[in-house]
Structures are given as C-alpha cells and as structure tokens.
Amino acid sequence: MDRRKLLSWFGLGWVVSLLPSSLVGCSDAQSPTASVPATTSPATSPAPTAAASPSVAAAPAGNFKAIGTVAQLDKDGHLLSDKIAVVRDPKDSNKVLAVNAICTHKGCDVKWKSDKKLYVCPCHDAEFAADGAVLEGPAKTPLQRYAAKIDKGQVLVSV
C-alpha cells in the first residue's frame, strides 16, 4: 500500500468516527424517572397538569443521598443541589419530587416558580410541571426525574 492510499484510509476513518457523536449532539432527549412518598406534610395548592406532554416514567430507587433539610425545603419552597431540584408534590404534599434542573431543549437551568408551581426555562420559556412533565414547548422531553423521599428531617434523592 502506498503512502497516499494509506493517508486516504485514515481520513475516511476519522470522518466515520465523528458521525455518531454528531448525530447525538442534535437530539434533545433526556430519560425521565420517579418519586417516593415523603413523611411530612405542609399545605400546598393545586398544580398545573401536563395533559398534552409526554408521560414521565418512574425511575428505580438506588442509593439515596441527602441534598438538604425539610426545614430548608419548606422555607425556600424548593431545594437545588448539583443541578437536582426538589419540591413538594403539588398533588400530594406528603411527597417530594426531584428533577434534573437542566432544560431538555438546549440545556439552560430551569427555575422553580413557587407561585405557579412549575419550572420555567429562562432561555426559550419552556415550562415543566413539578414532576418534570412538559407543559409548554419548545422542549419536548420531560425533565429527568429522580426518586426522592424525606427521612428524619432530610430530603433524600436517589441519583
């Protein structure tokens, strides 16, 4: 094999190796997950529903780690730690819901709006329910969910 032919094979291999990562970079997919009931209960108001959005699937519970206290959660209305956001379930205040706070559209950090009981993305105004379900586009994929619970005054999330 001559030098020119060898170099052309290396060039072709390089182009082929870039193809899968280029295709993945175009998708906005994230995998969804679930929650576990909590053990305490302050009052809450009804939450928005996600009738037209894709369903949010349950995630298996693995090792739980504490990301804050119940006192902090109830004082601030939400907890945020390492891009994991936790709020009380607006439909059942005995439960907590944990989601990945990175928008599934283009990756901005979503913000919890306590008054509306939903997450809003500041970049293109996508809205997500407390359980991560898409309420308003342009995002099409729910926020990733994590199993979460309250134990001995701590908010625990399985990541």
Residues that bind ligand FES (CB under 6 A): 103, 105-108, 121, 123-124, 126, 138-139
Task: Please identify, using beta-carbon distances, which residue of 87 and 103 lies nearer to ligand FES.
Answer: 103
Is residue 126 classed as helix, strand or coil in its secondary structure? coil
Q: Give the Cα separation of 139 and 129 in Å (integer).
A: 12
**Cβ-based nearer residue to ligand FES, 12 or 124:** 124
Rank residues 67 and 101 by Cβ distance to ligand FES and give the closer one.
101
Minimum Å gap between C-beta 98 and ligand FES is: 19
Report angle CA 25, 29, 30 to the nearest 5 degrees: 120
115-152 burial by CB neighbour count: b if 16+ within 10 A, else e?
A: eebbbbbeeeebbbbbbbbbbbeebebbbbbbbbbbee
Return the structure tokens found at 74: 């109830």
* Shortest reach from residue 66's CB to ligand FES, in Å: 28
Nearest approach, Cβ of residue 124 and ligand FES (Å): 3
Q: How far is the CB of 75 from ligand FES (least distance, A)?
A: 27
User: Which of 59, 139 has the CB closer to ligand FES?
Assistant: 139
Instruction: Tell me the one-letter amino acid at 95.
Output: K
